A and B are shown apart, each in its own frame.
Chain A
Amino acid sequence: GENVEQHPSTLSVQEGDSAVIKCTYSDSASNYFPWYKQELGKGPQLIIDIRSNVGEKKDQRIAVTLNKTAKHFSLHITETQPEDSAVYFCAASKETSGSRLTFGEGTQLTVNP
């Protein structure tokens, strides 16, 4: 089955700096890679996703890059703000109906004001 590894497990940055979180996956058949943000006491919230037919996707301050050859993908947050502080999870799956998401272990991001 799929295995997703995520690092770092914790990341602390100053407000305004950039943050980068990296993930690797094992199943070359995976073609859908979402990122979720989870705040304390809440469920994961989808913030951005990328499919294997593109190498990069951007949405305002958030961008995701995908390297299918190396089987890794990354989340980039620019101009970080204190409200970006949360746990971020990467995930991978095949893009078929019902295909399970395999999650990484999460990165606790802290943005210091």
Chain B
Amino acid sequence: GAGVSQTPSNKVTEKGKYVELRCDPISGHTALYWYRQSLGQGPEFLIYFQGTGAADDSGLPNDRFFAVRPEGSVSTLKIQRTERGDSAVYLCASSPPGLTGANVLTFGAGSRLTVL
């Protein structure tokens, strides 16, 4: 596609529920990132995929958070037993292959998660 697509754009859930957020990166982009942005803050790194594998998941806050990218394109961020503190905008970004483009991230519009 022309840009990074994220669904749903808004998700309201109850504390303790399970949530999945989807990211469809730009075609041909091999690297995919998830960031989390709390209100009034800059985005914070969660996880990075190169192809199908999670090359760096050190930003995931705890084991309730998990992400997959089974075919090296679409990625799903999964949050178990949601807590009110998980409320934030979850941003996905992708970047092209090659060293000079590796850090040039294109972000999606984000999925706003609200945990009641």
Which residues of A approach B to under 8 Å, CB–CB? 4, 6, 32, 34, 36, 41-46, 49, 89, 91, 93, 95-106
Q: Which of B42, B50, B59, B108 sits near A106, CB closer than 8 Å?
A: B42
> Is B20 on the interface with A (CB-CB < 8 A)?
no
> Is B114 on the interface with A (CB-CB < 8 A)?
no
Residues of A with C-beta under 8 A to B106: 46
Contacts A97-B99, A98-B55 given: A103-B109 contact, CB under 8 Å? no
Asked if residues A101 and B41 are in contact (CB atoms below 8 Å), the reply is: no
Contacts A43-B91, A43-B107, A43-B110 given: A97-B102 contact, CB under 8 Å? yes
Contacts A93-B103, A95-B103, A96-B102 given: A44-B48 contact, CB under 8 Å? no
**With A and B bound together, what is the CA distance between A103 and B36 in angstroms?**
11
> Is B44 on the interface with A (CB-CB < 8 A)?
yes
The 8 closest A-B pairs by CB, nearest first: A103-B42, A43-B107, A100-B45, A97-B102, A43-B109, A98-B48, A44-B107, A32-B103
Which residues of B approach A to under 8 Å, CB–CB? 4, 31, 33, 40-45, 48, 50, 55-56, 59, 91, 93, 99, 102-110
CB-based nearest A residue for B108: A43
Residues of B with C-beta under 8 A to A104: 42
Q: Which of A32, A42, A95 sits near B109, CB closer than 8 Å?
A: A42
Asked if residues A103 and B43 are in contact (CB atoms below 8 Å), the reply is: yes
CB-based nearest A residue for B100: A95
**A and B contact pairs by CB, cutoff 8 A, 13 listed:** A34-B103, A41-B109, A43-B91, A43-B108, A89-B43, A93-B103, A95-B102, A95-B103, A97-B50, A98-B102, A101-B43, A101-B103, A103-B42
